Chain A
């Protein structure tokens, strides 16, 4: 039941926030905040009581009938990976609400409702274990996100929102096709329909059919990730979305793609995934290098951060398809660390736009002088994003590279270029926006308490991930262990470091 609460609370809270606007335009954001905190409370409560109720592979599992005609059930399950990503989702949800606190004047109720519905959809994606249900959440979470961009976005929002929706929907259709093909194979094998993860996992689809079906999943997830060359929707969507939308997009929605690869695409098709790994890794490297080069060429603050996301998510793709324990842990760490650091940078961009009414870095310069607290925060997150040791991003990228080296040394060498280019564009961004000669006429407010609190929260999170990442590894190790069991013996799955020992 508590798993259902994680989805239902934001869903119903959204309706409440929407309607509360009639009473008082300030009410929706308070309701939204309360609902997210309550959901986070439910999650923490679950996490605190885990020891007793864990059953087998899943820490928590619940199943109920939905459409028995096709063997579709309301199957939800939580393991370490879901727990970690849910915590990230709700935390960034709080950040998103905080960042939209004063930005939204038009229909604040509907805005908060869409925010909460997006959170509900993402929670559903991280929990669903029935592929039909998963697909439902996967598609439905896009609609509130689309509305967030289309209604509250910036100047060319219609183009951006449409592009975002079409890219993800079209790839989603291919995934639907793959899901049905997979379930039909199950129907042929067992004589009854089932979309349950556990049942489909037992199927062994290989050869050309397996590869094509896997590609359906892979495409949908890489578009969302986004992997090169399917990333073109991302800079537009991120740039045009309102701040809270960018935070959610970069922080959480991109992670659903990585989660999908790790949870579905690889375990369901181990054989095909191994065959496909060189291509996936090549795409990852291309994304890292290409994203970084494009990021450097931007003059728009948000676009720069958006392209840096393409670059950073390339590491996730690399880590996932290296099939070894270190790299996989690195990929998961990257999901979390990138979520936090990019969310912070987008919040920074939103705050700058709110104050200066521009995102063009050529019109900024010397902002440190006007707003020292903003400058310090920006510096911190720019350093985190370029992978300074001591912060989560460094741990993540280091682990991916270390794990990958035993599998593909030359690819690793290319990917390591990403660390250098990241330093180039991050520092370039700092120099353009915050250093240089200040404009004497410019008046701008520095960060207030609300903004400093959220920034401080994210700094703490990144430092914690960077200095003491072991709890995260412990949480996700069982997930990776069960993944290893699914993979064929012949692959280089043997971790560099024996399982169970500390990293």
Chain B
């Protein structure tokens, strides 16, 4: 390995270094503030490193990692999202009696797992990244270990996610048996010439897809999502819903594109069916929730359903670069929006007994007590609903354009119906927030500090900028694809 290789994987090295420093610091001096600040700085440094690394990209570092612009863009995104989560967690976790320093360490490791997924172009690194992400998340979900809900959530996630990983591994094994290689690109070439029965390989591809679909919580593998989202600490739910999904989707995109696993007609049809089911079921179930976290959980199912449309366009359409561009934009917009949406929930006061159970009732009138936080939630909801001027609209516009260019009419109809339903429950949150003061008496306390206020402002600005002046990001995405 030469210097360029080290620069190319600098983000991963920075994160690993940061994790080591954090571990040492915790061993010698326990201080939440310091740990939090260090974690925040390491994540920012890693994001900066990603920007620097683009000078040497694209580079192949060992057979495992591919440091191209796409990988670097997403590792920067994941680091920034991790930094935002760290910022949001500071106040949340400080009121958590016990010594919570390891929380930040785990967050750093989870982000590193996500970045490895962005770099992965080998089944081994894909699995490494995925497990690093998932195992950190098990611990993070169970972190407020004094209550039942987080433990239940973590156990559920652990067992089901373990089963999904096993399925994934079995799929890898079948593919390896057929081709004798684990590298994405080579896998594709070998599958072409393989002499083994197509049925077996198809089963392998299907198992891989099922394992990933579980992590993305696509219908019908979505059953864990609401419970886990509901039980996990709010900042972690935000991280899981944004980075956790985006990283897996990036890996999925690469694997299925490079290895061309969608050569099997039936797999494409199944994916289309899953996309439609996710969009419709996710939105319909979200409609029935009064708990905001559960509602967001179901809405995230729907959003991954929208993203699958792009995947299908990539496979069937002629213009792969355009569809990938659409997916990348959607992921960026979705990550920013999701973190913003969970931002408010993290700030619900620590004194509030059942703080993971924020009901719609409890945000009522928020607009008049805490205009900034309500503004954050408003922007996030409008963006999720895909109203113009927000990031979510441009993202949806991309998806619609991609789907039109691929002529996927059935998917488009599901998208329109799904978003139509979505408007109702997103808007309901807005409605509750704008209720007049005299109508509500169950509003919660909200804890704010300069950190959360600064973060809220940043997120609002980012979402609005992505929605109003998207040209430079579009051009950049286009140039790297």
Contacts and interface: CB of A to CB of B under 8 A. Distances in A.
Interface of A: 66-70, 106-107, 132, 135-136, 139-140, 143, 146-147, 150-151, 158, 161-162, 165-166, 169-170, 173-174, 176-177, 180-181, 183-184, 187
Contacts of B474: 67, 69-70
Nearest to A165: B427
B370 interface: no
Main secondary structure of the interface of B (DSSP, over half): helix
A69 B479 CA distance: 11
Contact of A147 (B387, B424, B434): B434
13 contacts: A67-B471, A69-B474, A70-B474, A106-B436, A139-B393, A143-B387, A150-B430, A151-B436, A169-B387, A170-B416, A173-B416, A174-B416, A176-B400
B387 A139 contact: yes
B397 interface: yes
Interface of B: 368, 382, 385, 387-389, 393, 397, 400-401, 404-405, 412, 416, 419-420, 423-424, 427-428, 430-431, 434, 436, 470-471, 474-475, 478
Contacts of B416: 170, 173-174, 177
B471 A69 contact: yes
A196 B397 CA distance: 16
Nearest to A107: B368
Main secondary structure of the interface of A (DSSP, over half): helix
Contacts of B436: 106, 151
B382 A143 contact: yes
Contacts of A162: 424, 427-428, 431
A118 to B, nearest CB: 15
A180 B400 contact: yes
B423 A169 contact: yes
B171 to A, nearest CB: 36
B412 A177 contact: yes
Given A136-B388, A143-B387, 17 more contacts: A66-B471, A69-B471, A139-B393, A140-B388, A146-B427, A150-B431, A150-B434, A151-B436, A162-B427, A166-B424, A166-B427, A170-B420, A170-B423, A173-B420, A177-B404, A177-B412, A180-B400
Contacts, number: 72
A149 B164 CA distance: 48
A72 to B, nearest CB: 9
Nearest to A212: B409
Contacts of B397: 132, 176, 180
Most buried by B among A66, A106, A177, A183: A177
A203 to B, nearest CB: 14
A223 B227 CA distance: 39
Contact of B404 (A70, A135, A147, A184): A184
Given A169-B423, A170-B423, A176-B397, A158 B405 contact: no
A135 B470 contact: no
A180 B382 contact: no
B412 A166 contact: no
A163 to B, nearest CB: 10
A106 B368 CA distance: 11
B44 to A, nearest CB: 29
A139 B470 CA distance: 18
A183 B471 CA distance: 18
Contacts of A68: 471
A161 B434 CA distance: 12
Nearest to B477: A69
A158 B431 contact: yes
A426 to B, nearest CB: 35
Contacts of B424: 162, 166
A67 B423 CA distance: 26
B7 to A, nearest CB: 30
Contacts of A180: 397, 400-401, 404
A165 B423 CA distance: 8
A103 to B, nearest CB: 15
A181 B404 contact: yes
A118 B412 CA distance: 30
Contacts of B427: 146, 162, 165-166
A177 B478 CA distance: 23
A174 B478 CA distance: 27
Nearest to B378: A143
A69 B420 contact: no
A161 to B, nearest CB: 7
